[in-house]
Amino acid sequence: MEFNIREATLDDVSAISVLGRMTYKEHFADIWNDSDSFLNADFSIDAIKSCINSPSSHRYLLAFRNNILVGFAKLNINFELNGMGMPCIELQKIYVKKDSVGNNLGSALIERVVELASELNSKYVWLDVLKNNVQAQKFYQRHQFGIVDEIPYKTDKYEIGMFVMVKRLKHT
């Protein structure tokens, strides 16, 4: 399946907000009693605009199928992972519409994230993944991310915990 992936512009802010809220609820509604405060902070128009207006710190990569936004990745640039001793790229979010999961969209986004990280001379890409999200962990492992740490994470419903996963880039 063909996807078009490009960096977000200010024209995309509303679409990112809508898709972010929708995909978060599709995939993570069960870990919260009330996810509204999280969604209102992370996917507010102002928060997304601020990120897009700071390309040296943040980037959104948008994935389209037939000119319809079906997924995105949010990156934090030069975001140091404890213990790495150097700036890295953090893959903060990768969200895909539920009906697009399994169509290689996530893989296409990961490939573009790695390309961008290489272009920015980063040596590593890292991310956090919920400890109970085994499907996502396996996906990242297929893309050569390895678990390097465990950190606490809790919602208003319960303590879940997260794994920190890292991929060393080939040019290093």
Look at residue 80 in the predicted model and tell me its pLDDT: 75
Q: Which amino acid is at 79?
A: F
Residue 102 has pLDDT above 60, yes or no: yes
Residue 13 has pLDDT above 80, yes or no: yes
Domains of the chain (ranges, CATH numbers):
4-168 (3.40.630.30)
Distance CA 21, CA 31 (A): 14
Residue 163 has pLDDT above 80, yes or no: yes
Q: How confident is the model at residue 64 (pLDDT cuts 50, 70, 90)?
A: very high
Q: How confident is the model at residue 171 (pLDDT cuts 50, 70, 90)?
A: low
Residue 54 has pLDDT above 80, yes or no: yes
Look at residue 153 in the predicted model and tell me its pLDDT: 85
Q: Is this model's pTM higher than 0.95 or not?
A: no
Look at residue 1 in the predicted model and tell me its pLDDT: 64
The tokens of 63 are what?
A: 């994935």
Across the range 30-59, mean pLDDT stands at 87
Look at residue 24 in the predicted model and tell me its pLDDT: 82
Across the range 115-125, mean pLDDT stands at 92
Pairing verdict, β 68-76 and 89-96: antiparallel
Distance CA 159, CA 157 (A): 7
Residue 172 has pLDDT above 80, yes or no: no
Distance CA 2, CA 10 (A): 24
DSSP string spanning the chain? ---EEEE--GGGHHHHHHHHHHHHHHHHGGG-S--HHHHHHHT-HHHHHHHHT-TTTEEEEEEEETTEEEEEEEEETT-PPTTT-S--EEEEEEEE-GGGTTTTHHHHHHHHHHHHHHHTT-SEEEEEEETT-HHHHHHHHHTT-EEEEEE--B-SS-B--EEEEEEE-TT-
